[in-house]
Copies of this chain bind each other. A is one copy, B any other.
Amino acid sequence: MKVALVQKKYYGNTKKTIKKTVKSIKKASIKGCQLVVLQELHQSEYFCQYEDTSLFKYANSWEKDVKFWSKVAKEYNIVLVTSLFEKRTEGLYHNTAVVFEKDGSIAGRYRKMHIPDDPGFYEKFYFTPGDLGFEPIETSIGKLGVLICWDQWYPEAARIMTLKGAELLIYPTAIGWFDEDSQEEKTRQLESWITIQRSHAIANGVPLLSCNRVGFEKDNSGAIDGIHFWGNSFVCDPQGSIIAQAGIRNEILYADIDMQRTKEVRDIWPFLRDRRVEAYGNLLKRYCD
């Protein structure tokens, strides 16, 4: 199965950014891709660098956004994984991935469950933690375990998606470097980010797609310089082996996924067989003190 990940910089306004994204989707469709994955909050700047109520404006178009991407999915006849800013009601917002079927219908959606909050990533101000749980989304190309960014650090999320039958793990994400960090620290962070996601593919015997943002975005509050989103979107197989990886630039990353490989890999390394579920109770605790 041919897939594409659209890794893009923010073009200074939503209109231009969306236009460029649609152009990439068109290209991927022409190349025969059945699935296109967009990066986290792909319509706009990454607006969580500081806390400002005026930035909730990006959620005002939520209903229009859903209609728009539905049309795009239908026009290019692809399963499309979007990442939008959901306005549920006044003062209640989510970071939500909406997945569209090839005919433009909504296949399902996932509300980001794990919400970060660190200098430069003030997401707890903007996003209510998801309340839909970890539910794979049934589509014509398979059951998609869609998770978002910070979720990628949690083996629990990937595992539950798998136990619920996810055949692919998919992460729209927006992660990058600060200038103040050393080159060594930057390398460690990028490596950690790739490694933990590859590990979810390995632990669960499923292919994984991670689509990250790229480009520099200034922190308009002036608290920090801004974030250099590190790109490096990638696709790996059920053994965590990388089959395609983007650089640190605008890029459509193509990959060909062998959906039969999961069975082969799980038959030789049957990790699901030997889980000691009766001994896992402490996973439901915050800390065992």
Residues of B within 8 A of A270 (CB): 118
Q: Give the CA-CA distance A284 to B203 in the complex, in Å.
A: 16
CB of A271, distance to nearest CB on chain B (Å): 5
Contact with B along A177-195 (1 / 0, CB 8 A): 0000000000011011001
* Residues of chain A at the chain B interface (Cβ within 8 Å): 113-116, 118, 129, 133-134, 150, 153-156, 159-160, 163-165, 188-189, 191-192, 195-196, 198-200, 202-203, 237, 239-241, 268-272, 274-289
A276 B163 Cβ-Cβ under 8 A = no
Q: Give the CA-CA distance A114 to B280 in the complex, in Å.
A: 12
Closest chain B residue to A287 by CB distance? B163
Question: Can you give 23 A-B contacts (C-beta < 8 A)?
Answer: A113-B279, A114-B276, A115-B274, A153-B271, A155-B155, A155-B199, A156-B159, A156-B275, A156-B280, A160-B282, A160-B288, A163-B287, A165-B289, A191-B241, A195-B195, A195-B198, A195-B240, A196-B203, A198-B199, A272-B286, A277-B284, A281-B284, A284-B284
Selected from B237, B269, B278, B285, the residue in CB contact (under 8 A) with A163 is: B285
A274 B239 Cβ-Cβ under 8 A = no
Q: Give the CA-CA distance A76 to B80 in the complex, in Å.
A: 62
B165 A288 Cβ-Cβ under 8 A = yes
Residues of B within 8 A of A160 (CB): 279-280, 282-283, 288
CB of A126, distance to nearest CB on chain B (Å): 15
Residues of B within 8 A of A189 (CB): 239
